[in-house]
Amino acid sequence: MSGILIDGLNVWFGEHEMRVDAVKGASISVPEGGSFGLVGESGSGKSTILRALTGLVPTWNGYMEVLGTPLGAKRDRSFYRKVQMVFQDPYASLHPRHSVDQVLGETLSLHGFRDIDARISKLLDDVGLGASFRFRYPHQLSGGQRQRVAIARALAPEPQILLLDEPTSALDVSVQAEILNLLSDLRKERNLTYLMVSHNLAVVGHICSSIAVMQLGEIVETLSVEQMRAQETQHPYTKHLLASSLGAIKGDGSGADRAHG
Amino acid sequence: MTIEHQPPQGLRNWLLTDTPTSRNHARMAALYQSWLSFRGNHMAMVGLGILVVLALVAAFAPLLAPHDPLSQDLMARLKPPGTPGYLLGSDSLGRDILSRLIYGARITLYIVTLVAVIAPVVGLFVGTVAGYAGGWLDVILMRITDIFLAFPRLVLALAFVAALGAGIENAVLAISLTAWPPYARIARAETLTMRNSDFIHAVRLQGAGPLRIIIRHIWPLCVSSLVVRVTLDMAGIILAAAGLGFLGLGAQPPTPEWGAMISDGRRFILDHWWVATMPGLAIFTVSLAFNLLGDGLRDVLDPKEGAQ
């Protein structure tokens, strides 16, 4: 059974003359327990696929399936117990007036858990934040700590699939590596399926086993990370992306080493 | 974990901590920090002081008032301020103006509180529902709001009071009905800026329904700008209540309502200025206090200024 199966997905915004096709005929398949990266420049439609999958964008057609269940127009609560998402900007994804305790407590109660106190402590431990962070408000946390809270929130319903929307791009480099290591540890511990969106090939290479390259709303190439490392690419855009990313790595070796390590 | 084993001199540090240890601790710390920044605004503190005094005066009116506000003494009518026993003078029926002002504080507070409870809540509800739901519901709710906005406030209030009958309760109802549309507009605008933010998306991805999102996630962020706006509008509400009283459509005689008192004094304004001036000064002071307080609250609560 595949974790996520997307076939011929089209997503658009607006109607008639204003219509913009954000995703055109995208197909991907992520095995259960696998990790898949979507790469491309901003505006290439990678985040839109995640938003269509989670039901945040209602205007789509095509076929989507999660853990063997085809998706319709509406998502019910059982869907959100299986699939959770970590947003790009931890400064925008936490309610500014809710403490960590409130954020996690509400999430747990929405999913019908009873032992909320114990679970909050456990979640905070799991993401490497101690109990001392429990009653803080977002403005008392750093970007990396906020993102850990967002990851804890996504883990709260014990999902099998985690969608990661550029989870590190709003963070500074040293914190990026910490969050990426946390994410790969969590995946090992909990046998999670990851679908990750990023414009950073090094980040995707660290987390994912296969990647799809997107350009202008279309998937131009799907390849494994080994193929990417060996630079066995077919499409000129992939070559271009890889070349520019290698150039960046040569310019500043430290960050890339850590991410690849 | 709790307050018990904190030494008293550590209370300030305990409140200023960045690492609260319990739900209440976090809440107290946040409140204390807001209080500190509010305290820095001296004019706002003056406003708050005046309002606290007003509330105390209203609460202890029977102890403070030298006379019964309703007892008449035609031998002592229209005494000027400073007459022994009549500190602020007496009116045309020989009633002590100071006592009437003190009892009038109760009515003013009553009106202000009721309007402050009704109008912003209605506005908040209409505005956030319209903003979050969008589509035809938004159109319908906002056109209704526009219709109410298009009426001159006092005229609409007049029409309501004329239809429902004169009296304080009806005046409150009339003022509330005309006061909510601006709050609905503010709340809708705030909701529109939040509706597509990630923290709302995140809670939608937990399966939260629209009502829960509106009440638990959008309201807390709208409330601060509404509180500021309500406080600034309070002056206008007091004046509207006084205006209705002045026109004889609010509080009915012999109730010592400030606006009605000015109306009484109007007949003698040339020869006996104090009868209308004293309640006028009271209205002025309380309105000013609310404006000062509103200004200070804006500095503390406005999410666009602080928060981050």
Average of pLDDT values for A208-224? 90
pLDDT at B21: 75
Cβ contact (<8 Å) for B26 and A101?
yes
Tell me which residue in B198, B216, B217 faces A93 most closely, judged by beta carbons. B198
Q: Determine the pLDDT at residue A260.
A: 43
Q: Which two tokens stand for residue A23?
A: 């995703």
- Sorted by sequence, the CB contacts under 8 Å of residue B273 that are 6+ apart come out as none
The angle subtended at Cα B185 by Cα B183 and Cα B186, nearest 5°, is: 65
Phi and psi, residue B37, nearest 5°:
-75, -30
DSSP B1-15: --STTS-GGGHHHHH
Does residue B152 form part of some domain? yes
Given a cut of 70, is residue A257 above it in pLDDT?
no
Domain count, chain B: 1
Residue B242's pLDDT is 81
Q: Output the pTM of the full model.
A: 0.81
Nearest CA distance, A261 vs chain B (angstrom): 31
All residues of chain B having their beta carbon less than 8 Å from the beta carbon of residue A133 are 19
B283: domain range? 41-68+97-301
pLDDT tens string B132-162: 998 899 999 999 999 988 888 778 778 888 8
Ranges of residues in chain B with a pLDDT under 50 are: 1-4, 6-7, 303-308
Residue B271 sits in a domain whose CATH number is 1.10.3720.10
Establish if B242 belongs to a structural domain. Answer: yes
User: From B204, which residue of chain A is nearest by alpha-carbon distance?
Assistant: A56
The whole-number pLDDT of residue B9 equals 59
- Report ipTM for this prediction: 0.86
The percent of residues in chain A predicted with pLDDT above 70, rounded, is 94
Residue A42's pLDDT is what? 82
Query: Quick one: pLDDT at residue B196?
Result: 87
Please list every residue in chain A whose beta carbon sits closer than 8 Å to the beta carbon of residue B18: 136, 140
Predicted local distance difference test score (pLDDT) of residue A44: 86
Answer yes or no: are the C-beta atoms of A66 and A4 closer than 8 Å.
Answer: yes
Number of H helices, E strands in chain A: 10, 10
Are the C-beta atoms of A202 and A169 separated by less than 8 Å?
Answer: no
| Cβ atoms of residues B99 and B71 within 8 Å | no
Q: Where are the alpha helices (DSSP H) in chain A?
A: 46-54, 77-82, 100-110, 116-126, 143-155, 173-190, 201-207, 225-229, 236-251, 253-260
In a domain, B92, yes or no: no
Q: Per-residue pLDDT tens for A129-139?
A: 888 888 888 88
- Name the interface residues of A facing B (CB cutoff 8 Å): 54-56, 75-77, 80, 84-85, 87-89, 92-99, 101, 106-107, 110-111, 132-133, 135-137, 139-140, 150, 153, 157
Task: State how far residue A242 is from chain B, nearest Cα, in angstroms.
Answer: 30
- CA pair distance A96, A113, nearest whole angstrom: 24
Instruction: State the pLDDT at residue B224.
Output: 82
- Residues of A whose CB is below 8 A from B17: none
Q: Which of A80, A84, A140 sits opposite B18 (nearest CB)?
A: A140
Whose CA is closest to A227, among A210, A240, A244?
A210
Q: Give the pLDDT confidence score for residue B8 in this predicted structure.
A: 53
Q: What is the full DSSP assignment across B41-86?
A: -HHHHHHHHHHHHHHHHHHTHHHH-SS-TT---GGGTTPPTTBTTB
pLDDT higher than 60, residue A256: no
Chain A CB within 8 Å of residue B307 CB: yes
Residue B147 lies in a domain: yes
Residue holding tokens 């398949």?
Answer: A29
- Residue B14 covered by a domain: no
What confidence score (pLDDT) does residue A258 get?
43
Q: Within a domain: residue B8?
A: no
| Rounded-to-integer distance, Cα A62 and Cα A7, Å | 6
Task: Give tens-digit pLDDT for A62-108.
Answer: 999 999 888 888 888 889 999 999 998 998 999 988 889 999 999 99
Mean pLDDT of chain A: 87
Top mean-pLDDT range of A141-150, A236-245, B1-10: A141-150
Q: Which CATH architecture has domain A36-44+74-211+222-260?
A: 3-Layer(aba) Sandwich (3.40)
B6 occurs within a structural domain? no
- pLDDT tens readout for residues A30-57: 999 899 999 988 888 888 999 999 988 8
Predicted pLDDT of residue A87? 92
Q: Does B216 reach chain A within 8 Å, measured CB to CB?
A: yes
Non-local (6+) Cβ contacts of B197 within 8 A are A92
Q: Are strands A69-70 and A60-66 parallel, antiparallel or unpaired?
A: antiparallel
Above 50 in pLDDT, residue A259?
no
In a domain, B185, yes or no: yes
Match 């999660």 to its residue by tokens.
A66
Each residue of A10-36: pLDDT tens digit? 999 988 888 888 999 999 999 998 999
At A249 the pLDDT is: 58
Domain boundaries, chain A: 36-44+74-211+222-260
Q: Look at the block and give the residue holding tokens 């509103």.
A: B294
